[in-house]
Amino acid sequence: MFYVYSETDKLAGFDLEKGCSMMIQVHRPPLRLPDYYPKLVSCQTRLFMLCVSWCDYDGLLNRREKAVRKMWELDLKSHAWSEVSRHLDAPMDWNASFFADQNKIYGVEMFRIFGQVLDFVTACNVSDSEIKWSTISRKHAAHEADASSCITKLMLVMNL
């Protein structure tokens, strides 16, 4: 199944074997900040979405109104999203990239701040009982990159 999530919070699925597409009616899409586009990731036959929203505690907005990147999982039977994790870093990259390999989801953020290009890679294991993000690299490999390349980034895992 191939999934597409639009900036208008619509989810569509395309069955590659049957060659047909369908709109998937989801119950209450996750609240998100419109300037940060959501990212879909499929991992271990599960569908996740990462989006940025205001940090809340027990349903109440924090008085500081801190933005946080949340990871949601779609229940494929009830079509309801549930929050499963919060990313450990502040969402500084408006165009962060996420991808999955085996039972892990990886994220790369690269952005320019105060004249410096910063980058880091994070990962989480979706098969753990509690899904937590951890930083796996802060080596600042982007220092050699052109600062304008922070917007476009691609990544992959090659299992050797």
- Is the pTM higher than 0.85? The answer reads no
Q: Is residue 1 part of a domain?
A: no
Closest CA to 31 of 62, 58, 5, 52: 52
- Alpha-carbon distance of 109 to 107, in angstroms, equals 7
In a domain, 159, yes or no: no
101 domain-assigned: yes
Tell me which residue range forms the domain holding 44: 29-150
Q: Per the domain annotation, does 13 fall within a domain?
A: no
Asked whether residue 6 is domain-assigned, the answer is no
Q: What's the confidence (pLDDT) of residue 129?
A: 85
Contact 95, 108 (CB under 8 A): no
Say which residue, 84 or 1, is predicted with more confidence: 84
- pLDDT of the residue at 58: 53
Would 117 be classed as within a structural domain? yes
CATH of the domain at 118: 2.120.10.80
Confidence of residue 14 (pLDDT cuts 50, 70, 90): very high
**133 inside domain:** yes
For the chain, what is the domain count?
Answer: 1
Gap between the Cα atoms of 126 and 16, Å rounded: 25
Over range 51-72, report the average pLDDT: 73
Identify the band that residue 31 occupies on the pLDDT scale cut at 50, 70 and 90: confident
Average pLDDT across the chain, whole number: 82
Q: Say if 158 falls within a structural domain.
A: no
